[in-house]
Structure 1
Amino acid sequence: MVKIFIGGLPDNIQEMDLAIFVSLHGRVETIKVVRDRATGKCKGYAFLEIFSLPDAKNIVSTLNGESFKGNIITVKISEEENKTQAFKPKANQPFKAKRPRLQR
């Protein structure tokens, strides 16, 4: 699954409207419209899980910069995917081992 970000959504967006709009270009697995807890209005963005990378790339290339319900939307593959990878030291910096803890 590939997570994509969609920004620039109107505050009255419904998940079903977004699902129909996006699913014309790729298979959508889940939708999470981010809403204000107090008012229930959309904060202007959502995250979608797309079945495959080719579908996600097609959605991004087709819908980024398009108009949806009167707003120009931004669509991109979410950077959150990189956060789940294991820690790797930078190539130009040597890895420093931590000092061992004293056993009591």
Structure 2
Amino acid sequence: MVKIFIGGLPDNIQEMDLAIWVSLHGRVETIKVVRDRATGKCKGYAFLEIYSLPDAKNIVSTLNGETFKGNVITVKISEDESGAKTPKPKTNSNPHPNPNFKSKRPRLQR
């Protein structure tokens, strides 16, 4: 599945309205409209998981820059296309090439 971002949504958007509008151009698997916890209003963007990359590309090319409920919408494929989280590379706190090396200088206590 491919994750896409949709921005510029009105604050009163309903998931079903967005699903119907987007599904005309590709198969939608999941929708997550980002909302303010206190008010329940949409923060202006949502993430959708699309069944396939061709569907996602069709949605982006067709809907990006279009008007939806009075707002111009931005649609793009998320940076993380697969939806899987990529692990961060481990950083070595010891910059010395020898992993067993210990500095003889005492560290300052804070």
Q: TM-score, normalised by structure 2?
A: 0.77
Judged with a 3 Å threshold, the aligned counterparts in structure 2 of structure 1 residues 22 and 100 are, in CA distance, closer, same or farther, namely farther
Structure 2 partner of 1:5: 5
Structure 1 partner of 2:108: none
Unaligned 5+ runs, structure 1: 89-95
Structure 2 partner of 1:51: 51
Q: Deviations over 1:49-74 (max 9, x none)?
A: 00000000000000000000000000
Larger relative helix fraction: 1
Give the RMSD, CA atoms, in angstroms.
Answer: 2.5
Structure 2 residue matching 1:80: 3-state secondary structure: coil
Identity %, equivalent residues: 80
Judged with a 3 Å threshold, the aligned counterparts in structure 2 of structure 1 residues 87 and 23 are, in CA distance, closer, same or farther, namely same
Structure 2 partner of 1:73: 73
Structure 2 partner of 1:18: 18
Unaligned 5+ runs, structure 2: 90-95, 103-110
Q: TM-score, normalised by structure 1?
A: 0.81
Judged with a 3 Å threshold, the aligned counterparts in structure 2 of structure 1 residues 49 and 98 are, in CA distance, closer, same or farther, namely farther
How far the C-alpha of 1:84 sits from its partner, in A, is 2.9
Q: Return the letter of the residue paired with 2:64.
A: N
Structure 1 partner of 2:85: 84
Q: How many residues are aligned here?
A: 95
Judged with a 3 Å threshold, the aligned counterparts in structure 2 of structure 1 residues 101 and 80 are, in CA distance, closer, same or farther, namely farther
Runs of 4+ in 1 over 6 A off after TM superposition: none
Write the distance in 1 (CA, Å) between the matches of 2:49 and 2:80: 12
Q: Return the letter of the residue paired with 2:11.
A: D
Q: Return the letter of the residue paired with 2:20.
A: I
Q: Deviations over 1:43-98 (max 9, x none)?
A: 0000000000000000000000000000000000001348834567xxxxxxx868
Please identify the structure whose Cα radius of gyration is greater: 2
